[in-house]
Amino acid sequence: MALFKGAGVALITPFKEDGTVNYKKLEEILDIQINEGTDAIIICGTTGESSTLSEEEHSDVVRYTCEYVNGRIPVIAGTGSNATYTAIDLSVKAQEDGADGLLIVTPYYNKATQKGLIEHYSQIASHVDLPIIMYNVKSRTGCNIEPATAAYLINNVDNIVGIKEASGDISQIAQIAHLTNGELDLYSGNDDQTIPILSLGGSGVISVVSNVAPKKVHDMCQLYFDGKTEEACRMQLDMLPLVDALFCEVNPIPVKTAMCLLGYETGGLRMPMTPMEPEHVEVLKKALSDYGLEPV
């Protein structure tokens, strides 16, 4: 059974003016997500600025989120690292802190061979009981999970259950679906490819757009599952200008900016993320407004 089906939000991490985590604001945005129909919370992922959280902060945010959500929907913790044993430590701690599953990105900077990826994921999986979703995003890590590697891992490691595919390569994604024969839960990691990936048998999306439009992303997935594919496709196409605006600078700069523009007061970014360029802010404001999300 899939960890979740539908729209999982790749949640931002709100900060106070002094740069520390704003837990009261985190509660607020978690409630909004749940009330608007989001199907799962993905905490401390790329969009949550996990790479600039200390290990102590990372664990605190995961634990706090699990306790606050309190089983209302699944909480999936991002616990990836370029160091296998760091990823193991983060994963074990997330399990202790109450996470329902793990999202583990491929090793970045030092990268890995396909054999190395098999060893990396197998070692992490052997230390936890939680279901694991692999995260394939070559544009950020320089490391690609080949379809045959994904198939090997799903067939040989019991608690590896899914993959978040953000390669952007639909042919590769189709090959993964073919080789895993429905045994691997396939999630879109790109908001502009949600419906195409659902059409290949995907289980849903891990979405940046869900931060600002959770109900619409959930409803789009649900329409597809309900057989209303034309309506779902129309929602996907209508979303594209907003998706483009939310990725006109590196994620999570635009989505964090969008949250502030919409009045959520979720704070700034941690270096080396810097404030959005003024001309891009104007593009983002227009895209939000055109999508029915009025900046305050």
Its sign, for the CA torsion 233, 211, 204, 87, is positive
Task: Calculate the dihedral angle through the C-alpha atoms of 104, 105, 109, 110, rounding to the nearest 10 degrees.
Answer: 50
Contact in structure between 107 and 84 (CB atoms under 8 Å): yes
Contact in structure between 246 and 209 (CB atoms under 8 Å): yes
**224 among known catalytic residues:** no
Helix H or strand E encompassing 76 = strand 75-78
Largest distance between two CA atoms of the chain? 51
Contact in structure between 295 and 261 (CB atoms under 8 Å): yes
Among 25, 93, 164, 216, the one annotated catalytic: 164
**135 among known catalytic residues:** yes
- Amino acid letter, 164: K
User: What is the phi/psi pair of residue 183, to 5°?
Assistant: -85, -15
Please state, in angstroms and rounded to a whole number, the distance separating the CA atoms of residues 87 and 119.
13
Among 135, 152, 187, 224, the one annotated catalytic: 135
Q: Which residues are catalytic?
A: 135, 164
